[in-house]
């Protein structure tokens, strides 16, 4: 018999975790920059968006050029556990550290790849209160519900966000 995933998703307001998340981000940004000085390290996710609702974790995006990606995977493996439940490709790798406060997810992306969207999503949510409120409403709808259902709805929201004119204008 197959096991049923019963992980539930819960959210808190940014004010409960924002300051701690930023402190933890700055510590890990330094760790990462020491190993990968060529990387762009950014605080992403809802804990980087003031006034938002968050799961209470910290997400970091590490952006590198394609030729730095293999070295970056190797170096980040020294700091963090590979997130085995996530996608692995030649332009994306996910890491995690559940032992820090708040729990940490690190997304390594190749600049300009299909996975190089975390910083854009953060910027859109910070610049456009309408999108932030819509995303918060989605989270309220899934409070206490199945994590996989929430992730599916979240992915649909971000797919729509990526089609928005505001998102299309962002490029770095």
Specify the fold of 12-169. Answer: Beta Polymerase; domain 2 (3.30.460)
Check residue 101 and give its pLDDT. 93
Cβ atoms within 10 A of the Cβ of 64, count?
23
Model pLDDT for residues 57-116, shown as the tens digit of each residue: 999 999 999 999 999 999 999 999 999 988 999 999 999 999 999 999 999 999 999 999
All structural domains of the chain with their residue ranges:
12-169
Expressed in angstroms, the distance from the first to the final Cα of the chain is: 48
- The Cα–Cα gap between 97 and 153 comes to 25
What is the model's pTM? 0.92
- CB of 26 within 8 A of CB of 107? no
Among 106, 110, 115, 127, residue whose Cα is nearest residue 170: 127
Model pLDDT for residues 153-172, shown as the tens digit of each residue: 999 999 999 999 999 888 65
- Mode of pairing for the β-strands spanning 58-64 and 40-44: antiparallel
């Amino acid at each position: 018999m197959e096991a049923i995933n019963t992980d539930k998703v819960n959210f808190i307001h940014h004010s409960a975790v924002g300051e701690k998340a930023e402190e933890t981000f700055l510590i890990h940004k330094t760790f990462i920059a020491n190993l990968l000085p060529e990387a762009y390290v950014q605080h992403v996710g809802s804990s980087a968006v003031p006034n938002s609702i968050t799961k209470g974790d910290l997400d970091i995006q590490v952006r590198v050029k394609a030729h730095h990606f293999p070295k970056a995977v190797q170096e980040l493996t020294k700091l963090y556990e590979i997130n085995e439940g996530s996608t692995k490709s030649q332009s994306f790798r996910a890491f995690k550290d559940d032992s820090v406060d708040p729990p940490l997810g690190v997304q390594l992306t190749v600049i300009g790849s299909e996975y190089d969207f975390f910083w854009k999503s953060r910027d859109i949510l910070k610049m456009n209160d309408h999108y932030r409120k819509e995303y918060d409403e989605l989270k309220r709808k899934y409070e206490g519900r199945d994590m996989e259902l929430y992730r599916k709805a979240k992915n649909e929201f971000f797919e729509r966000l990526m089609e928005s004119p505001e998102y299309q204008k962002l490029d770095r």
